[in-house]
Amino acid sequence: MYNFEYQKAGSVADAAKAATGEAKIVAGGMTLIPTLKLRLASPSKLVDLGGIKDLVGIKAEGGGVTIGAMTTHAAVANSAEVKKAIPALADLAEGIGDPAVRNRGTIGGSVANNDPAADYPAACVALGATIVTNKRKIAADDFFTGLFETALQEGEIVTSISFPAPEKAAYQKFRNPASRYALVGVFVAKTKAGVRVAVTGAGEGGVFRKKSFEDALSKNFSAAALDGIKVDAKGLNSDIHASADYRAHIISVMAKRAVAAAK
Amino acid sequence: MADMGIGVSVKRREDARFLTGNGTYTDDINRHGQTHAIIVRSPHAHARIKKINQAKAKAMPGVVAIFTGEDMKVGSLPCGWLIKNQDGSNMVEPGHPPIAQGKVRHVGDPVVVVVAETRQQALEAAEAVTVDYEVLPSVSSLKAATKAGAPLVWDEAKGNICYDWALGDKAAVDAAFAGAHKIVKIDLVNNRLIPNAMEPRAAIGDFDKATGDYTLYTTSQNPHVIRLLMGAFVLSIPESKLRVVAPDVGGGFGSKIYHYAEEAIVTWGAGQLKRPIKWTAERSESFMSDAHGRDHVTHAELALDKDGKFLALKAETLANMGAYLSTFATCVPTYLHATLLAGVYTTPAIWCNVKAVFTNTVPVDAYRGAGRPEATFLLERIVDIAAREMKMDPAEIRRKNFIQTSQFPYQTPVALQYDTGNYDATLDMALKMIDYKGFAGRKAAAAAKGKLRGIGVSCYIEACGIAPSAVVGSLGARAGLYECANVRVHPTGSVSIFTGSHSHGQGHETTFAQVVAEKLGIPSEQIEIVHGDTAKVPFGMGTYGSRSIAVGGAALVKALDKIILKGRKIAAHLMEASEKDVEFKDGKFTVAGTDKAKTFGEVALTAYVPHNYPITELEPGLEEQAFYDPLNFTYPSGCYIAEVEIDKDTGTLEIMRFVASDDFGKIINPMIVEGQVHGGIAQGLGQALLESCVYDKDGQLLTGSYNDYCMPRADDFPNFDVQHTDKPTPCTHNPLGVKGCGEAGAIGAPPAVMNAICNALGVVHMDMPATPEKIWRAANAHMARAAE
Ligand SMILES: Cc1cc2nc3c(=O)[nH]c(=O)nc-3n(C[C@H](O)[C@H](O)[C@H](O)COP(=O)(O)OP(=O)(O)OC[C@H]3O[C@@H](n4cnc5c(N)ncnc54)[C@H](O)[C@@H]3O)c2cc1C
């Protein structure tokens, strides 16, 4: 680890002011601290959001939920509001990492980091969530822009994420046996406006929507509707853990299982 | 001492300190005036070092010294075993400098050592060192290294061959094959593994300006071996001037046997600087600098008669040595592998050829099981294939070929002589444990759920209790493999045991205390087990090859017997009886037929306060030492059976049951033995299902962290049903009748689960690790065949 200054921000405005240039925001630190330990990043300053109470908490709103950026994965997994409105989201949070990670890692950190194998991006995209920052509101479809890339600008801080409630939804994750991140994760949501299917872990550019699945499922929301729809391996990751072909196949299997499990 | 003696599941006394964070590991030790070393390692698999630019780093705050290969011209890190080629010539044995000299030969090869006042300063300065390399062509796999015209790791090793060795009677094998009813074949890869002990390696070198003595604190399984190798071969420091301490060590699995470069670097450097130097590996450094394990490519053939009796076996193996010969690397694929190819079977003729190959990768050496897992995997896979092709039940073809209890001692065609065993007993027990007969029903029930269920049997044997010195000496070992124990009885009757068997997770402090309690009849609080310090323990060859209780325990018994012998003389004098009438039992010396008695404590006190003492016949004091050199290896054996279910859609596998029936002879602490087997099975299943070290074609390590190297986790496995055979066969040639249990799980488990997978899928063979993708592909092919 390189030396850095540490500042505990008292408010989002403070944090935004401090988090410019070489400074970096730290939330749960589950991704950032290991990066620092490996000396892969050398921020001049860490601005800790941990003291900002407004960023923590879950509110039921308009049938959906709004989750503060500093809410931990464990809090989401155990939230009565989330379980009621979007049980699939609580299930997803329950499946992230291990207990230590779930009790430190935050939803804001996860979406801001946009790891291509992370789970939350799939939920955000499939549920049509809105990412709220200190500056604006960004639709999930516009937020995740590439590998570890988001629409966030310098000094922009995620404050909360609003998830409208679907009619039905489910998330199915096929774990990478080593990292236990998603080798393939498929989030299927049936909403009034139609079905949305988001895939994480598999795509070369991170989370993506699977239009052919969405069209088929919008007509007939059943696993059988996906029979015979071929998933193209082009644009999918191929690495020592799995080939692109296998990932393509697993996308179909996970999507079907998600449809069957949707509630 | 019924609560404490042999056969009791005494709780591990060392766990209190480990579980409360009070262990003392090498990195917990800090010496006065200590400096910190960071090692700049090669980013290339093979390159010429053109220039090392260190001026900038030298000027940085806190930097004490920078050492390169030019500065550290010392002896070579030695290889402990000379293997002869088939033509009688010696293996190619290139040098292994602690810091690279002129060339680097694998990613992670040490190039520059930066020493600074703090670790942070050393890290900063190490980043400021730049090295100009001329990158050379490299070979990172057995296949690449053995291709015609492949780049050479060592100019002197033509075709990258270190040795071309063979064991067995080739003519007899060829004759048997010529007359065989059936020949079955297999081509397999025994996947390369990275050991991953919980505690990364660390070393502190210290130099005493007043005496000129060196001390090395290190994460070692065998401090005396390190003192011998480093003192005699690398740094030319006599034993009297060199102390090696291996304090609490957090796991080794073989990877902490070897003498590593960093140990020599910090010891030599401490002498140069006249200050202590500490080095502690980061986890990423462990991945690229700890010796790796396995890495064989094998072709084997088994000849059978029409009844399924094995007539002959031949195997040809390429074994990866990595870039340098690590301490025991050369004996692993030869004398720890080919000699086990008889297994538990009466195969009359066996021939095995092993070619050891240099590659531009980290050295490969013994890893839990060392050669024996490779032999067992080969044998138990090809036997399964034979059963399939002969349309015989896999359990029955094994039983048909077992060495019978009446045949012991049994001379195998590959050098070993098994003293005892009962292979039917462990097979029967395991079949019962898993309800083998009920398998068809369970398979049908699984099929009804859309799952493929399979069962796999594996009967293993291993050669442990390593090893008779004269035997291994005649085979090229450059060391003796006895063990030493010293028993110091203190005046009040408490006892300190000094053993050369190092404990790094095995629970020796408990097991060895049980042996002492049993022999001397004293409570465990009075017994201290000391190990891991050459200044305290007279000598030792260390812990590996499941040798601690079989060899170290035997030395301990010998020393305890000497104590009892002397105690009896003292007691006879005190009780005015003839020595031959004095009995020792439950901590008391008594005279037969009288009520005279002296406790062990009274006798100890007399030895140190010899007022009434046979002083003309006996020295005062009560301390004895013994060396024990085993007469033979020990031969633990057993049967493991795995049952798996496969999800055809994804290739995901679930182990439904795993049963183990082992014969370790006499058992000192059943709970510790069960724990050892559990851990071994987890490692074995890790190899079979999850773990694999991958280098790319340019020699870059792709599995350099836990994101990519898949370590087993508890939820990957069911609870293993581990039981000891109901018909144990105690070892016939050591005083405790023990055989050793540390490696069995890692040896027996891989073929059991791979046989179960092949059985479920109806395929002949699958290489490890059986990843979901591999299984899915095979399941698909299976369904395609079934549809035809
Ligand atoms: C062992 C392990 C296993 C894991 N397994 C999984 C898994 O299975 N699935 C999964 O999805 N994730 C997994 N993770 C990642 C985990 O979910 C992290 O917690 C998450 O990715 C980052 O959240 P954090 O709060 O820890 O963020 P930090 O590490 O503190 O920050 C991450 C990045 O986001 C930025 N950031 C943080 N908060 C904000 C904000 N409010 N606004 C703007 N930028 C911000 C930081 O500057 C930094 O760049 C795992 C992590 C570990 C260590």
Contact A212, A144 (CB under 8 A): no
At A17-57, the pLDDT tens digits run 999 899 999 999 999 999 999 999 999 999 999 999 999 99
E strands present in chain A: 5-8, 23-26, 45-48, 58-61, 64-68, 130-133, 137-139, 144-146, 149-150, 158-163, 168-175, 182-191, 194-200, 208-209
Centre of ligand 1 to C-alpha A93, Å, is 12
For a pLDDT cut of 90, what percent of chain B falls above it? 98
Q: Give the number of other CB atoms < 10 A from CB of residue B23.
A: 16
Fold of B31-136+198-251+256-289: Aldehyde Oxidoreductase; domain 3 (3.90.1170)
Which residues, at least 6 apart from B532, have a Cβ–Cβ distance to it below 8 Å? B223, B245, B246, B247, B249, B502, B503
**Are residue A172 and residue A225 in the same domain, yes or no?**
yes
For B454-501, what is each residue's pLDDT tens digit? Answer: 999 999 999 999 999 999 999 999 999 999 999 999 999 999 999 999
Contact A112, A138 (CB under 8 A): no
Across the interface, do B776 and A178 touch by the CB < 8 Å criterion? Answer: no
What ipTM was estimated for this complex?
0.95
| Euclidean distance between CA atoms B721 and B678, whole angstroms | 9
Sorted by sequence, the CB contacts under 8 Å of residue B75 that are 6+ apart come out as B233, B234, B235, B236
CA closest to B653 among chain A residues: A177
Residue B533 per-residue DSSP state: B
Pair A121, A78 in one domain = yes
Q: B210 exposed, middle or buried (CB, 10 Å; 0-12, 13-18, 19+)?
A: exposed
**Greatest distance between any 2 Cα atoms in chain B:** 94
Asked if B477 contacts B331 with a C-beta cutoff of 8 angstroms, the reply is yes
**pLDDT digits 0-9 by tens, B163-198:** 999 999 999 999 999 999 999 999 999 999 999 999
Q: Which residue's CA is minimally distant from atom 21 of ligand 1?
A: A110
Q: What share of chain A is helix, strand, coil (3-state, %, to 5)?
A: 35, 25, 40
Residue B717 in contact with residue B656, Cβ under 8 Å? no
* CATH no. of B296-466+632-787: 3.30.365.10
Res B386 pLDDT > 60: yes
The gap between the terminal CA atoms of chain A, to the nearest Å, is: 45
Q: Find the CATH number of the domain harbouring A208.
A: 3.30.390.50
Q: Do A140 and A225 fall within a single domain?
A: no
Q: What is the pLDDT of residue B781?
A: 85
pLDDT exceeds cutoff 80 at A149: yes
A158-163: strand order across its sheet: A58-61, A64-68, A158-163, A130-133, A137-139
Asked if residue A198 and residue A158 are part of one domain, the reply reads no
CA distance A225 to A210: 14
Give the distance, in angstroms, between the CA of residue B121 and the centroid of all CA atoms in the same chain.
37
* Domain end call among A48, A64, A79: A48
The token pair that represents B469 in the structure block: 């010195």
Digit-coded pLDDT (tens) for A165-195: 999 999 999 999 999 999 999 999 999 889 9
* A-proximal residues of B, 119-158, CB under 8 Å: 120, 123, 127
One-letter amino acid for residue B334 of the chain:
T
Q: How confident is the model at residue B521 (pLDDT cuts 50, 70, 90)?
A: very high
Q: Contact B550/B634 with Cβ under 8 angstroms?
A: yes
Residue B317 has pLDDT above 60, yes or no: yes
* Residue B356 CB contacts under 8 Å (≥ 6 apart), including other chains: B83, B91, B161, B162, B163, B165, B319, B320, B321, B329, B330, B333, B334
A122, A143, A163: which is the final residue of a domain?
A163
Nearest Cα neighbor of B631 from B481, B477, B412 is: B481
Contact A112 CB / ligand 1 (< 6 Å): yes
> Cβ of B700 under 8 Å from any chain A Cβ?
no
Q: What is the pLDDT of residues B589-640, one digit of tens each?
A: 999 999 999 999 999 999 999 999 999 999 999 999 999 999 999 999 999 9
Q: Are strands B242-245 and B214-218 parallel, antiparallel or unpaired?
A: parallel
Same domain, residue pair A159 and A114: yes
Nearest chain A residue to B710, by CA:
A178
Is the distance from the beta carbon of residue A158 to the nearest atom of ligand 1 less than 6 Å?
Answer: yes
Whether the CB-CB separation of B546 and B636 falls below 8 Å is answered with: yes
Confidence of residue B788 (pLDDT cuts 50, 70, 90): low
Residue A65's CATH number: 3.30.465.10
Q: B269: closest CA among B232, B217, B214?
A: B214
Domain limits for position A254: 168-261
- Taking CB atoms and an 8 Å cutoff, what residues of chain B touch A39? 123, 127
Domain count, chain A: 3
User: Per-residue confidence at B310, pLDDT binned at 50, 70, 90?
Assistant: very high
Q: Are residues A98 and A194 in the same domain?
A: no
Residue-level pLDDT at A62? 86
Helices within B587-643 (DSSP H only): 600-608
| Region(s) of chain B under CATH 3.30.365.10 | 296-466+632-787, 482-628
Q: Which of A136, A163, A190 is the last residue of a domain?
A: A163
Average pLDDT over residues B663-675: 97
Contact A240 B702 (CB under 8 A): yes
A242 touching B (Cβ < 8 Å): yes
Q: What is the CATH number of the domain that holds A27?
A: 3.30.43.10
Average model confidence (pLDDT) across chain B = 97
- For the CA atoms of chain B, what is the radius of gyration? 27
Best residue for ligand 1 mutational test, from A101, A181, A207 (most atoms within 8 Å of Cβ)? A101
Nearest-5° Cα angle at B337, B331 to B338: 105
Asked if residue A79 has pLDDT above 70, the reply is yes
Q: What is the pLDDT of residue B724?
A: 97
Over the stretch A245-257, which tens digit does the pLDDT of each residue have?
Answer: 999 999 999 999 9
So what's the architecture of B482-628 in CATH? 2-Layer Sandwich (3.30)
Q: In chain B, which segments carry CATH 3.90.1170.50?
A: 31-136+198-251+256-289
Whether A40 has its CB under 8 Å from any CB of chain B: the answer is no
Confidence grade of residue B715 (pLDDT, cut at 50, 70, 90): very high
Cβ contact A225:A217 at 8 Å: yes
Q: Is A142 exposed, middle or buried (0-12, 13-18, 19+ CB in 10 A)?
A: exposed
Q: Which of B649, B706, B772 sits opposite A178 (nearest CB)?
A: B706
| Residue A99 binned pLDDT confidence (cut-offs 50, 70, 90) | very high
Contact status, residue A157 vs residue A133, Cβ threshold 8 Å: yes
**Nearest by Cα to A31 from A94, A92, A120, A91:** A120
What pLDDT score was predicted for residue A75?
A: 98
Mutate to test the pocket of ligand 1, among A55, A72, A113 (most ligand atoms within 8 A of CB): A113
**pLDDT for residue B4:** 83
Same domain, A158 and A176: no
Same domain, A111 and A194: no
Using a CB-CB distance cutoff of 8 angstroms, which residues of chain A are in contact with residue B773? 242-243, 246
Which residue is listed with tokens 């220039």? B51
In B30-59, which positions are buried (b, 16+ CB within 10 angstroms) versus exposed (e)? ebeebbbbbbbbbbbbbbebeebebeebee
Which is nearest to B693 in space by CA: B204, B190, B220? B190
